[in-house]
Amino acid sequence: MKKFTTVAMLAVAGFSMLLASCGPTTYEIALVTDVGDIDDKSFNQGAWEGVEAFAEENNKSYQYYKPTAVDNTEYVNTIDLAIEGGAQVVVTPGFLFETPIFLAQDQHPDVSFILLDGVPHSADYTEFRQEENVLSILYAEQQAGYLAGYAAVADGFRSLGFMGGMAVPAVVKFGVGFMLGAQAAATDENVEVTIQYHYTGDFADTPDNAATAETMFEDGVEVIFAAGGAVGLSVMSEAEQAGKKVIGVDVNQGPGGADLSDTVITSAMKGLGTSVVQALTAYYNDEFPGGEVWVLDASNDGVGLPTDEASWGFETFTVAEYEVIYGELAEGERTVDLILDGSTVTGATEVEIEAYDTVMNKVTVTFVA
């Protein structure tokens, strides 16, 4: 096991002293954060709110732990720290935990793990294995992206942008769903639509990401779907200056929700908090579904757009119209096809997007470097 540096050890020691002085020294529910913090208004926060809601309602002790670096060894070290702190069940949000949980499930067979957005596998992807102490929860991001793309075009937007973080499965599904939703609405409306499509390579609020958003807006893009955690903050700041619009991701990031910016007209949401509450409820009812993979989609209210009045930022597309589309997705009457030539789309590369030509006759997608 990798040893902590002196600085890290001092930080942990100081943290432990603080805990001892202001409350219990053990916490039975733990969340280990992915890239970012529990107040990132995105994936970590959504998961943390689920932990917090369950723990407060059921009088359980809980705590979060933040890795000092983004690598498998440090993630495992932080999981170990949480377990040393008393954790009986550990929530890990994000695909970056797939390999750490693959290792931790064997190292801590008496601890239960809730892995959001991934399934356990070895670092070299040669072995996929999920033990009885791991529940994996996946989300149909392609449906959430589809709903956002459909709504934007149905509301009158014709020049769209997509800024995703890394080309990982969840982000790819958001992006592919977004363009297919735009295609469906463009077909219904009989209009032509353009999409500028870009991966930032990170999940951060940076000058480079702001510059990309600025360029898109200057090129005529009216609304950008920001599917990259804190990337959305860069997009929102530029949208405010340009008088343009933004679609948020993971949680309700606009008015009525996190309220990050008035430019946010909707958010492609995943039921992060709800799924965590459901999993923790099962655990404490001695019904933990270890070894299973849950998939949350429209059929079980696992994804969607916020429909409360404060959060509904569309001018002509109505909640009633949205609910018709949502219902068709839920019933399987409307599908979002991620299959290309018999295999699942992998990175939504330019070549792969071109393969959608038979169905993308109303939408032109341009990749932005």
Residue 126 shares a structural domain with residue 226: no
pTM (predicted TM-score): 0.87
Condensed to tens digits (0 to 9), the pLDDT of residues 114-147 reads 999 999 999 999 999 999 999 999 999 999 999 9
Residue 205 shares a structural domain with residue 284: no
Condensed to tens digits (0 to 9), the pLDDT of residues 31-88 reads 999 877 888 777 889 899 999 999 999 999 999 999 999 899 999 999 999 999 999 9
Residue 159 shares a structural domain with residue 69: no
Condensed to tens digits (0 to 9), the pLDDT of residues 142-172 reads 999 999 999 999 999 999 999 999 998 899 9
Residue 352 shares a structural domain with residue 207: yes
With beta carbons less than 8 A apart as the criterion, state whether 160 and 186 touch. Answer: no
User: Is 301 contained in some domain?
Assistant: no
With beta carbons less than 8 A apart as the criterion, state whether 102 and 121 touch. Answer: yes
User: Is 43 contained in some domain?
Assistant: yes
Residue 94 shares a structural domain with residue 178: no
d(CA 215, CA 238): 9
Count the domains in the chain.
Answer: 2
User: Is 8 contained in some domain?
Assistant: no
Residue 224 shares a structural domain with residue 251: yes
What CATH number is associated with residue 69? 3.40.50.2300
Residue 325 shares a structural domain with residue 218: yes
* pLDDT at residue number 23: 52
d(CA 265, CA 358): 30
User: Is 253 contained in some domain?
Assistant: yes
Domain that holds residue 80: 25-139+274-296
User: Is 16 contained in some domain?
Assistant: no
**Residue that wins the pLDDT comparison between 164 and 13:** 164
Distance of CA 339 to the CA centre of its chain: 21
Condensed to tens digits (0 to 9), the pLDDT of residues 203-240 reads 899 999 999 999 999 999 999 999 998 999 999 999 99
Residue 73 shares a structural domain with residue 166: no
Residues 194, 158, 150, 198, CA torsion sign: positive
Distance of CA 176 to the CA centre of its chain: 15
Residue 178 shares a structural domain with residue 134: no
* pLDDT at residue number 206: 97
Residue 209 shares a structural domain with residue 219: yes
With beta carbons less than 8 A apart as the criterion, state whether 248 and 229 touch. Answer: no
Residue 31 shares a structural domain with residue 149: no
User: Is 195 contained in some domain?
Assistant: yes
User: Is 13 contained in some domain?
Assistant: no
Residue 38 shares a structural domain with residue 148: no
Which pair of structure tokens corresponds to residue 364? 């032109």
- Alpha helical stretches, state H, the chain: 6-22, 43-58, 72-84, 98-107, 141-154, 169-189, 207-218, 231-242, 272-284, 319-330, 350-354
User: Is 12 contained in some domain?
Assistant: no
* pLDDT at residue number 24: 57
With beta carbons less than 8 A apart as the criterion, state whether 174 and 227 touch. Answer: yes
4 burial (CB, 10 Å; 0-12 / 13-18 / 19+) is middle
